[in-house]
Amino acid sequence: MKNIISLFYKNLFLTNRLFTGLACCVVLFLLSFFFPWMGIIPELVFWALVILFVIDVLMLYKTSKGVFAKRHAPERLSNSDNNELGIYLENWYTFNISVGIIDEIPFQFQKRDIWFKTNLKPRERKLINYMLRPTQRGEYEFGDVRVYVKSPLGLIRRRYNFDQAETLPVYPSFLQMRKYELMAISNRLTDIGIKKIRRIGHSMEFEQVKNYVAGDDYRTINWKATARQGNLMVNSYTDEKSQHVYCVIDKSRAMKMPFDGLSLLDYAINASLVLSNVALLKEDKAGLVTISEKLGAVIPADKRPAHLNKILEVLYKEKTRYLETNMELLYSTIRKVIKQRSLVVFFTNYESLNALNRQLPFLKRIAKYHLLLVVFFENTELKKLSEETAPNVEGIYIKTIAEKFAYDKKLIVKELTKHGIQSILSAPQNLTINTINKYLEIKAKQKL
The full 3-state SS of 146-168, as one line of letters, equals EEEEECCCCCEEEEEEECCCEEE
Partnered with residue 70 across adjacent β-strands are 88
**b (16+ CB within 10 A) / e for 19-50:** eebeeebeebeeebeeeeeeeeebeebbeebe
Rounded to two decimals, the pTM is: 0.80
* Residue 131 falls in which region: left (phi positive, over 0), alpha (psi -120 to 50) or beta: beta
Q: Is the CB of residue 180 less than 8 Å from the CB of residue 436?
A: yes
In this prediction, residue 403 carries a pLDDT of 82
Contact 128, 116 (CB under 8 A): yes
Alpha-carbon distance 396 to 368, whole Å? 44
Strand 244-250 relative to strand 285-291: parallel, antiparallel, unpaired? Answer: parallel
Contacts of 227 (CB under 8 A, 6+ apart): none
pLDDT single digits (tens) 303-316:
888 999 999 999 99
Residue 275 to residue 271: CA distance in whole angstroms = 6
In this predicted structure, what is the pLDDT of residue 33? 56
pLDDT, position 376: 94
Distance CA 444, CA 442 (A): 6
Neighbouring CB atoms inside 10 A of 70's CB total 14
Q: How far apart are the first and last CA of the chain?
A: 80
In this prediction, the residues of the chain whose per-residue pLDDT falls under 50 are 1-2, 4-5, 7, 9, 200-201
3-class SS at 239?
Answer: coil
- SS3 of 357, please? helix
| Burial label, 403 (beta-carbon count in 10 A; 0-12, 13-18, 19+) | middle
**Rounded CA gap, 25 and 31, in Å?**
10
Sheet of strand 83-91, all strands in order from the earlier edge strand to the far edge: 67-72, 83-91, 125-132
> What is the model's pLDDT at position 372?
95
Looking at the domain that runs over 174-198+240-444, which CATH code has it been given? 3.40.50.410
Which CATH code of 2.60.40.10, 3.40.50.300, 2.60.40.1180, 3.30.2270.10 fits the domain covering 67-171? 2.60.40.10
* Per-residue pLDDT tens over the stretch 39-75: 566 667 777 777 888 888 888 888 888 999 999 999 9
